[in-house]
Amino acid sequence: MVVVLLFLFFFPFSAFSAISSEECLGCHDGFKTFIHDGIACQDCHNDAISLPHKEQLAKPSCSTCHQAKAKTHTNSIHGIKKVECSGCHKVHAGDKGKKTCNDCHAKAEHRNLPFNEKHLAALSCVSCHGIAKTSVIKVKIQAKDGGIIQRGAIDLDGNNMIDAGEWDNFQALLRKNMKGKYSMSRNYTTDVDIHGVMKKPQACKTCHIDRQLFGQARLQYTGSVQFEMSVYPSVFIPNIPSIDLYKKTAHGRKDVQCIDCHLTQTNINDAVCIQCHEDIYGTYKHTVHARKGATQCTDCHNPHRIEPYREVNAKERLAVCSRCHKDYVQKHNWLPNTTLHFNHLECSTCHSPESTKSMVLYLSTSKGDLEEILSYENLEKLFEKDARITLLLDKNGDGVIDSRELVNFFADVRKKLAGKAFIGSSIIITSVYHDYSVKRQKERICGTCHSEKAPFYESIFFILPEKGYHMYIPVKGTILSESPVSVFIDISLLGEQKVTWSDVKGLFFLKRGEFPRYAKELGLKWIDIMGMGLALIILFFILIHIAVRIFVKR
């Protein structure tokens, strides 16, 4: 009876609590540092029911608790190659004895990875070999006492997004105004489950073309002012050539093969370019620019991204120059409305006087405060897939686009974009003379461009995107000039139609018989001349009236 009572008393104890961890450590005193988030020995070694336990205990399974991680591990290259949990984790060690990648892969030199040192220094192994849930480039700038940079000095166009040009300008500003007064760090951070190491690492294009990884960059500025801004990731991770993109470039379209240029494995030099572009090379080689700055063709032109000159818009052209001339905004601070000018000009508009300048007009839409040129892809979304803009324009199908059709087309685009379409404009080069080296430091005359005599008024084009290329439709001297494109232009054609001093002065220095021709030339400017003239005459008579009133004291 006593035995039965004792059995009943002890049975539950021995059946459910089995043996305590202290009892285990009594023999296995090597595991005294064991922590594992406070679990007991028995939680894993659950087949040790009583002491002494059987000699060979079953192997505990990690996946009982760590289901998700174990599943990820099973599908990873480590899982496939049967590397067990214990391969990296020493479960009985105090710090769980985590191994790093380096412990096994110390000799991972990545010899085939271009710029391997740069890559290995900036990235963790799993950035490329794992599957990141999130990834971001974090740039931190800590200003020390005395140095202040305001938000507006970085984000010049105020769109809260730093592009390459703005970044370069910012760097120049830091070097100039805050030398030694700031520290900068750049981190490529990823949120990766380390258990999911892939069989194949991420392809180059994941970061360098598609930007599925590190598609975001944040600038954090701390100092006496604090702010955060987004930066285009391409500022830090450059685009690389891809065969798909290459096929769309001028070289690709004209069937220039890889081996046509890559004669050897060394870098491309001018001799390769001269094979086809000897004329241009002849012009360029004698310019100051070629002798002192960009001495090789490839310094400015990326052979994998070559596009016909007409396909490159003002902003993209400016980006080519600003790769070296990073401080171009500061250098032009004498120019009023500097950023506004750079929104409508390219560098060679002024620095290549022998090239032909044109005014180009294009369809734009506004994204916030930002102007975005409508591309073919944008229009395709508005109309239908694979739409031919030429056919959409030529409504009556006579093979000729007249001004009415163009105007109606614009009205249509505007309607589809809920009124958010307008005509943008740039003054750019349309026929190139390959000399960009002319400095015109002393010739800071606004009137060169801001007058009706500006050369680009002689050459105005309306640019329409068509599938794969841009159409340049001349405006002057065509049917468009009769009912001019300015019908729907949102810009002020400075100097045109509005009277200037020289017009008025011209009136007083006319030779005999010149008046009829001059009067006709003035055209609608007569409105201003008559209006202001009459105002002056009236004021003159009022003054006489006042004088007589004072004289007769009335």
Residue 227 vs 488, nearer CB to another protein = 488
Of 34, 188, 410, 456, which one interacts with another protein (CB under 8 A)? 410
CB of 545 to another protein, least distance (A): 8
Angle between helices 501-508 and 515-522 (to 10 degrees): 160
Distance between first and last Cα of the chain = 142
Residues 156-215 that bind another protein (CB under 8 A): none
> Could you say whether residue 118 binds another protein (CB under 8 A)?
no
Residue 122 dihedral angles phi and psi, to the nearest 5°: -85, -30
Strand partners, 196: none
- What SS3 state is found at 195? coil
Residues 447-486 that bind another protein (CB under 8 A): 450, 483-484, 486
> Could you say whether residue 545 binds another protein (CB under 8 A)?
yes
CA angle 424, 429, 432 (to 5 degrees): 155
**Cβ atoms of residues 461 and 380 within 8 Å:** no
Residue 391 vs 411, nearer CB to another protein = 411
Residue 112 vs 396, nearer CB to another protein = 396
CB of 495 to another protein, least distance (A): 9
CB of 308 to another protein, least distance (A): 31
CB of 393 to another protein, least distance (A): 16
Strands of 307-437 (E only): list them: 356-367, 370-373, 421-431
Residue 39 vs 530, nearer CB to another protein = 530
CB of 494 to another protein, least distance (A): 6
> Could you say whether residue 552 binds another protein (CB under 8 A)?
yes
Query: How many CB atoms neighbour CB 78 within 10 A?
Result: 21
Q: Which residue has the tokens 């003002």?
A: 314
Residue 284 vs 410, nearer CB to another protein = 410
Tokens of 339: 């950023």
Q: Which residues contact 21 (CB under 8 A, 6 or more apart)?
A: 40, 41, 42
Q: Which residue has the tokens 């009124």?
A: 419
Angle between helices 314-322 and 164-177 (to 10 degrees): 40
Q: How many helices (H) and strands (E) does the chain have?
A: 30, 10
Tokens of 44: 């894993």
**Cβ atoms of residues 381 and 417 within 8 Å:** no
Q: Which residue, 152, 249, 138, 252, is CA-closest to 189? A: 138
Residue 225 vs 538, nearer CB to another protein = 538
Indicate the DSSP class of residue 345.
B
> Could you say whether residue 494 binds another protein (CB under 8 A)?
yes
> Could you say whether residue 498 binds another protein (CB under 8 A)?
yes
CB of 121 to another protein, least distance (A): 47
- What SS3 state is found at 418? coil
- What SS3 state is found at 367? strand
Residue 351 vs 414, nearer CB to another protein = 414
Of 250, 488, 506, 519, which one interacts with another protein (CB under 8 A)? 488
Tokens of 215: 């598609």
* Cα–Cα distance for residue pair 145/157, rounded to 1 Å: 27
**Cβ atoms of residues 349 and 357 within 8 Å:** yes
How many chain residues interact with another protein (CB under 8 A)?
Answer: 30
* Cα–Cα distance for residue pair 480/401, rounded to 1 Å: 9
> Could you say whether residue 487 binds another protein (CB under 8 A)?
yes
CB of 405 to another protein, least distance (A): 13
Q: Which residue, 321, 315, 300, 157, is CA-closest to 170? A: 157
CB of 337 to another protein, least distance (A): 10
Residue 236 vs 383, nearer CB to another protein = 383
Ordered DSSP codes for 213-275 = SS--EEEEEESSS-EEEEE-GGGTS-----HHHHTTSHHHHTT--HHHH-SSSSPP-HHHHHT
CB of 396 to another protein, least distance (A): 17
Ordered DSSP codes for 125-161 = HHHHHS-EEEEEEEEEEEE-TT----HHHH-TTSSSE
Residue 71 vs 498, nearer CB to another protein = 498
Q: Tell me which stretch binds another protein (CB under 8 A): 39-47, 473-481, 511-519, 543-551.
A: 543-551
CB of 520 to another protein, least distance (A): 15
Q: Tell me which stretch binds another protein (CB under 8 A): 86-94, 212-220, 301-309, 533-541.
A: 533-541
> Could you say whether residue 444 binds another protein (CB under 8 A)?
no
Of 414, 416, 433, 455, which one interacts with another protein (CB under 8 A)? 414
Residue 175 vs 549, nearer CB to another protein = 549
CB of 487 to another protein, least distance (A): 5
Residue 57 vs 445, nearer CB to another protein = 445
> Could you say whether residue 411 binds another protein (CB under 8 A)?
yes
> Could you say whether residue 535 binds another protein (CB under 8 A)?
yes
CB of 339 to another protein, least distance (A): 14
> Could you say whether residue 554 binds another protein (CB under 8 A)?
yes
Q: Tell me which stretch binds another protein (CB under 8 A): 155-163, 380-388, 391-399, 492-500.
A: 492-500
> Could you say whether residue 528 binds another protein (CB under 8 A)?
yes
Q: Tell me which stretch binds another protein (CB under 8 A): 25-33, 133-141, 179-187, 536-544.
A: 536-544
Report the side by side order of strands in the sheet with 182-192.
Answer: 161-162, 227-231, 217-222, 132-143, 182-192
Residue 146 vs 368, nearer CB to another protein = 368
> Could you say whether residue 531 binds another protein (CB under 8 A)?
yes
CB of 269 to another protein, least distance (A): 49
- What SS3 state is found at 463? strand
Which positions lie near another protein, rule CB under 8 A? 407, 410-411, 414, 450, 483-484, 486-488, 492, 494, 497-498, 524, 527-528, 530-532, 534-535, 538-539, 542, 545, 548-549, 552, 554
